[in-house]
Amino acid sequence: MSSSRGVVVALAGAVLFLVVAGAVYLEILVSARSTDPVWAVTRDVAAGDQLDSTDVRQIRLPRTGDSWSFYTGDLAATPRRAAHAMTAGTIVFSDDVVSEDQALVTLTLKTPPPLSHGARVDVYAQLNGQTVIVGRGLVVDSVSGTACSLWVPTSDEPAWVTLAASNLSVYAARSSGIGVPQAARGQNAAEAIATLSGSGAPLATLAPPSPSPSPTRAPR
């Protein structure tokens, strides 16, 4: 009797093992055939270009189990702008797309550097002898002479339009914005010279020299 019971238990264990092994194999097989939808760029794009159905297409990649940060939005229904230049065939990740809405503003720059579509600039404004950075890593859309159209966050649009309508001097430096210090306040010419010369001298020591004294005449 006990021998028959042992045979039954052994058969039950074997069946349970086959069921578990089959389930694991089936899960592996299904996972191997699973894919994720991703977006791929169909042509070369520059920073600031709009990504829509004419610039991207959706493809499927095998699921690997790794947590890749692919862009999951619908670029065909809700176009977004490229955060940087990409070549055709590039898979679009989350940080490749500008997630916030943007507005196009045009500024008149004084002595602008050579600029073109897709370039990035830091923008400075001068007020009361002080120069302060007001935008960093902004993408250029177009340039015509000293007029430069830039993409800015929509939330900052009123401030940029006010700056464009003012008579303040606005300058730009071609830059990604990375590594540029964020000044707590504006900087005047004397402080800039102190920084660039490495002297670190306070403003008072950089005052222009006093005029030479006029020669005295001997009494007659």
pLDDT tens digits for range 53-97:
999 999 988 876 666 889 989 999 999 999 999 999 999 999 999
Reported as a single tens digit per residue, the pLDDT across 121-151 is 999 999 888 888 899 899 999 999 999 999 9
Q: What backbone torsions phi and psi does residue 175 show, to the nearest 5 degrees?
A: -165, 150
Q: 137 - beta bridge partners?
A: none
C-alpha atoms less than 13 angstroms from C-alpha of 119 in its C-beta half-sphere: 17
User: What are the sequence ranges of the domains in the chain?
Assistant: 36-98, 102-201
CATH for the stretch 36-98: 3.90.1210.10
Q: Residue 138: CB partners within 8 Å, gap ≥ 6?
A: 120, 121, 122, 123, 150, 151, 152
Name the nearest CA neighbour of 100 among 124, 83, 123: 83
Q: Which residue has the higher pLDDT, 7 or 158?
A: 158
Residue 150 and residue 121 in contact, taking contact as beta carbons nearer than 8 Å: yes
pLDDT on residue 129: 86
Of the candidates 133, 114, 125, 116, which has an alpha carbon nearest to the alpha carbon of residue 177? 133
Q: Please, where are the H alpha helices in the chain?
A: 2-33, 157-165, 189-197
Sheet holding 97-98, edge to edge: 50-51, 80-82, 97-98
